[in-house]
Amino acid sequence: MTSSRPNQTAAQRRYEIVEDVLRANIADGSLPEGLVLLEGPIAEIMQTSRAPVQRALQRLEADGIVRRFDGRGFLVGGPASRAAPLRADLKTVGLVVPQAVDEALQSRSSWERIYDVVEADVAGCVVFGQYRIVESALAEHFSVSRTVVRDVLSRLQERGLVRKNQSSHWIAGPLTAKSIKDHFALRRILEPPALVSAAPTLDRTRLEELHARFREREQNLADMADDSLEQFETLLIDACVLTTPNEKLAALIRDNLLPVLASERLLRQLGLPSDRAAVTEHRLIVELLLRGAVEAAAEMLNRHLDAAMNRNIAQMKIVAVIPEPKSIATYLTRVDD
């Protein structure tokens, strides 16, 4: 992807703008190989929340431009890079944010400035039950107007994360075994065809790097944290599914994934383990793509999704007896079903 031109930024999502800026800075050497990239400093320089920065870094990782390492954050450079971690202040290094891009970020509507945080808060609570979102409490929490709050909630409603009940109250959740099944049913309908349509444009070198990474992790599962396992799911989807040329299909997949991935992150945070067989499933999908067996790769993805659904539902039953965490945002109020 090339760096955004000024007239493109208005139509882009925040993570796409951040991604383009980082990509351009890496390409021209402003961010040297081995430099440690952390979400917080990047978010501060670009005056945005951490969520779009996290998404941008994950997309760059899927393209082999940055990589993870034993420490926090990402390193500039692909999987084959052997550069040692370089920790430096990004402001000193000279992360260049073009004026047109900076102005575009700061001139975006007020609802966009808080949307990512609200989306993450809402997606993160629904596994514990049903919550009401009070407009006035949300407005006070972020020091914004009720108009801004309604804009945010309307967009969350469009993405299926909140709804209005018969009393016109904004409601989020609950994410139940049935809703998990519904989300995974959609995943099985949407994601295998997206993989098939993306296959002709996939870069073989990138697939080989991805396969090597999955193989390495598969052989060293004992040394890998559960949260790392979850990151491989995102890596596979970004590299092999969301690269479909059908942008509307990709958008549907992204929206449907929101509550699913949020629930899986919460399960890990609560101490529930990942099923490490998923790494083998990921590796097999990429291996089949490398062999040109696209339909077989799509079928393997379908089987992986079925197994993932069963794992998720089994752990949801455990969550049912776990108390609600204290980290739930204050503007979210638990209500009876």
CA pair distance 31, 75, nearest whole angstrom: 10
Q: Which range has the top average pLDDT, 45-54, 62-71, 180-189? A: 180-189
Give me the pLDDT at residue 132, please.
95
| Domain pair 6-107 / 110-175+323-335, same fold | yes
For residues 308-317, one letter each, b for 16 or more C-beta atoms within 10 angstroms of the residue's C-beta and e for the rest, the string is bbebbeebbe
Give the DSSP H/E element, type plus range, for residue 140. helix 135-142
The answer to whether residue 11 scores a pLDDT higher than 80 is no
Q: What does DSSP assign to residue 27?
A: H
The answer to whether residue 224 scores a pLDDT higher than 60 is no
Q: Which range has the top average pLDDT, 1-10, 63-72, 299-308? A: 299-308
Q: What is the DSSP string of 48-85?
A: S-HHHHHHHHHHHHHTTSEEE-SSSSEEES-TT--PPP
Count other Cβ atoms within 10 Å, centred on residue 320. Answer: 11
Domain 110-175+323-335 top-level CATH class: mainly alpha
Percent of the chain surpassing pLDDT 90? 34
**CATH number for the domain formed by residue range(s) 6-107:** 1.10.10.10
Average pLDDT value for the chain:
83
For residues 253 and 242, the answer to whether their CB atoms sit within 8 Å is: yes
Enter the pTM of the model.
Answer: 0.64
* pLDDT tens per residue across span 116-129: 889 888 877 887 88
* pLDDT tens per residue across span 161-176: 899 998 889 999 887 8
For residues 296 and 288, the answer to whether their CB atoms sit within 8 Å is: yes
CA pair distance 303, 278, nearest whole angstrom: 11
The answer to whether residue 263 scores a pLDDT higher than 80 is no
Domain boundaries, the chain: 6-107, 110-175+323-335, 177-319
Output the CA–CA distances (angstroms, integers) from residue 332 to 46, 49, 96, in the order listed. 28, 20, 38
Beta carbons within 8 Å of 265's beta carbon, 6+ residues apart: 124, 227, 230
The answer to whether residue 154 scores a pLDDT higher than 70 is yes
Output the CA–CA distances (angstroms, integers) from residue 274 to 38, 41, 224, 326, 327, in the order listed. 25, 30, 11, 23, 22
Give me the pLDDT at residue 9, please.
47
Q: For domain 177-319, which architecture applies?
A: Up-down Bundle (1.20)
Q: Which range has the top average pLDDT, 122-131, 181-190, 208-217, 219-228? A: 181-190
Both tokens assigned to 70: 């034993």
* Chain Cα centroid distance, residue 274: 17
Mean pLDDT across 262-270: 69
Higher per-residue confidence, 30 vs 124: 30
Give me the pLDDT at residue 52, please.
81
User: What is the rounded end-to-end Cα distance, in angstroms, of the chain?
Assistant: 45
Higher per-residue confidence, 309 vs 218: 309
Per-residue pLDDT band for 98 (boundaries 50, 70, 90) equals confident
